[in-house]
């Protein structure tokens, strides 16, 4: 397969996907004889073309995959278009619960409640329904309570490449 058709295939897959696509999935979808290195090169060429052509979008790595993104300078125009479809805002309780889970994962419900000082079972269930939190296993503690962690959708919602991109927790609290 020549590079030009592969580039178009990769572009089509990224365009159609509403979530990040990792290099292996891109290679698998592009054909049996396509390698990850070929896909990586096709993506590099696409980004170069988008940059040199002044395109309104580019390819970015997020949550362990690649995704097409509109460049930030076009955000004001998109905001006008999307005002009717406002994203659901997170309540203070949801943000606090997510923060505890993100920084302490894997964490039990009891541990989240100890930190927040309030019952969190319903909030954790709500965050799981929204796909932001998932069960990661069971603790070895008495009763073997469930352990919770964040998902790739959490990373996407907050624009993080990985959990390493979270702000330093020590810098968030005043001494």
Q: What percent of the chain has pLDDT over 90?
A: 71
**Model pLDDT, residue 83:** 61
Is residue 87 one of the residues assigned to a domain? no
Mean pLDDT by 10 residues, the chain (175 residues): 76 93 94 92 95 94 93 86 60 93 95 95 94 95 95 88 85 55
Residues 12 and 59 in one domain: yes
Residues 38 and 66 in one domain: yes
Residues 10 and 77 in one domain: yes
- Of the candidates 62, 72, 12, which has an alpha carbon nearest to the alpha carbon of residue 42? 12
- The rounded mean pLDDT for the chain is 89
pTM > 0.75: yes or no:
no
**Model pLDDT, residue 85:** 47
Q: For the segment 91-138, what is each residue's pLDDT rounded down to a tens digit? A: 899 999 999 999 999 999 999 999 999 999 999 999 999 999 999 999
**Model pLDDT, residue 84:** 43
Q: Given the DSSP bridges, would you call strands 57-62 and 65-70 parallel, antiparallel or unpaired? A: antiparallel
Residues 11 and 75 in one domain: yes
Is residue 36 one of the residues assigned to a domain? yes
Between helices 92-104 and 121-129, what is the axis angle to 10°?
A: 80
Residues 101 and 34 in one domain: no
Residues 96 and 77 in one domain: no
Residues 8 and 75 in one domain: yes
Is residue 156 one of the residues assigned to a domain? yes
**Model pLDDT, residue 80:** 73
Q: Domain range for residue 121?
A: 92-171
Q: Which of 27, 50, 81 is the last residue of a domain?
A: 81
Q: Which of 26, 48, 81 is the last residue of a domain?
A: 81
Element (H, E) at 136: strand 133-138
**Model pLDDT, residue 168:** 82
Residues 67 and 23 in one domain: yes
Residues 18 and 67 in one domain: yes
Is residue 72 one of the residues assigned to a domain? yes
Residues 106 and 49 in one domain: no
**Model pLDDT, residue 88:** 55
Q: Total domain count for the chain? A: 2
CATH number at residue 148: 1.10.10.10
Residues 43 and 13 in one domain: yes
Any idea what the Cα angle at residue 53 is, between residues 48 and 54, rounded to 5°? 105
């Amino acid at each position: 397969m020549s590079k030009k058709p592969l580039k178009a295939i990769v572009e089509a897959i990224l365009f159609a996907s509403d979530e990040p696509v990792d290099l292996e999935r891109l290679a698998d979808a592009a054909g049996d004889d396509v390698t990850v290195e070929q896909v990586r090169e096709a993506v590099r060429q696409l980004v170069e073309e988008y940059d040199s052509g002044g395109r309104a979008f580019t390819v970015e790595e997020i949550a362990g995959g690649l995704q097409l993104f509109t460049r930030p300078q076009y955000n004001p125009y998109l905001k006008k278009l999307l005002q009717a479809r406002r994203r659901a805002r997170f309540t203070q309780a949801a943000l606090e619960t997510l923060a505890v889970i993100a920084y302490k994962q894997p964490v039990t419900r009891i541990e989240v409640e100890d930190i927040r000082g309030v019952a969190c079972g319903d909030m954790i269930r709500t965050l799981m329904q929204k796909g932001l939190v998932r069960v990661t296993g069971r603790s070895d503690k008495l009763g073997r309570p469930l352990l919770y962690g964040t998902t790739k959708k959490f990373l996407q919602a907050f624009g993080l490449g990985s959990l390493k991109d979270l702000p330093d927790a020590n810098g968030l609290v005043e001494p």
